[in-house]
Amino acid sequence: MVKLVSWNVNGLRSAMTKGLEKFISKVEPDILALQETKIGRDQLTKVAPELQSLTPLYSCAEKRGYSGVASLVSDSCRHPAIKTQTGIRAPEFDNEGRFIITDHGPFKLYNIYIPSGTTGELRQNFKYQFLDRFLAHLRKLKRQDRERLIICGDFNICHKEIDIHHPEVAAKRELSGFLPDERAWMDKFAAAGLIDAFRHLHGDIPKAYTWWSFRAGARKKNLGWRIDYFFVGKALAPLITSAEILADVQGSDHCPITLELNL
């Protein structure tokens, strides 16, 4: 059995002051995939010395205090990382610290943080370029390699209407994260042979969200978006035993999500 947790922590420093270590002790993940760490390469062990039982593998943005992903692998994990790659060899994206790829033998894990387009047209276009490059990268992989993929992280996209509160309002306001072209990209992404682990187990369960605005008490009212995912290749889907959203866990505007596989 292998247990994975993915969480956009909105700053690792902040998360450490809000109980991240206690959460890890309670959940005991084999692999913890973090997004938006907002720290540099020289800061990880200083910011989170308590996490030394987890081997940190990370991709940091060149801009300090921005973006960044980290995959922390437990010393007791049955499938340690045997190969690590930071990025997809696209400097314009890799310089923002948005990918860490780790090969664990039976599976290859992509921990990703897809850009947000909420700040305007320039970043929305950057997001589309990122999506196109990422999908092209996946399509170049051999079929047998795609079938053993696990892709997790903050996608900054709600795939379907069920994944967002008041979808008609979001559509009318043309909000980034629920634009037709973004949702169409998710369709193409899934068509590459990738399965939404949460929906695979839970079907069309409503009001299952992973992100809430800090405004107007959105989280208390559960006015959220499901933008954090675990996707798995076809060979791994039958091995899924659990895929959950830990909506009660505080510490970020996102909540953690989990995946367990019989591996």
d(CA 260, CA 1): 7
Specify the pLDDT at position 55: 79
pLDDT in tens, 42-63: 676 666 666 766 777 888 877 7
Residue 136 sits at φ, ψ, to 5 deg, of -60, -40
**Residue 40 pLDDT > 80:** no
Domains and CATH numbers, the chain: 2-261 (3.60.10.10)
Give 219's strand partners: none
Q: What is the DSSP string of 83-117?
A: EEE-S-S-HHHHTT--EEEEE-SS-EEEEEEPPP-
* Catalytic annotation present for 30: no
The DSSP code sequence of 158-190 is --SGGGBSSHHHHHHTT-TTS-HHHHHHHHHHH
Q: Does 145 score more than 80 pLDDT?
A: yes
- Angstrom distances, CA of residue 172 to CA of 12, 157, 178, 179, 181: 35, 16, 10, 10, 14
C-alpha–C-alpha distance, residues 32 and 91, integer Å: 25
Q: Which of 23-27, 41-45, 136-140, 239-243 has the lowest mean pLDDT?
A: 41-45
Looking at residue 62, its pLDDT comes to 77
From 30, 154, 163, 196, active-site residue: 154
